[in-house]
Amino acid sequence: MGRIQKGVKCSVTDCNSEAVRSLSRNKFSASDLKLKEGKRVYLCELHYKVWKKKTKNLREIDRLRYG
């Protein structure tokens, strides 16, 4: 996880919370959350949890399919 500057806002459209995590866009592509433009994706606590939950589900699907 990258460190982020203070005062950076969440990259999710319509969210104005302060970001606590940053990710590369590639990593984030698994999610269907709508994002503002930018090279990196910044997430607030709430959206980070949402994203983590979604990617966890995807991983479980993969395991079922290939495991």
**Long-range pairs, 54-57, Cβ under 8 A, ≥24:** 54/30, 55/30, 55/31
Residue 12 touches Zn ion, criterion: CB under 5 A: yes
Give me the amino acid identity at 34: K
Q: How many CB atoms lie within 10 A of CB 32?
A: 6
Residue 10 touches Zn ion, criterion: CB under 5 A: yes
# of chain residues touching Zn ion (CB under 5 A): 6
Residues 19-58 that bind Zn ion (CB under 5 A): 44, 47
Residue 15 touches Zn ion, criterion: CB under 5 A: yes
Which residue ranges make up the site for Zn ion (CB under 5 A)? 10, 12, 15, 17, 44, 47
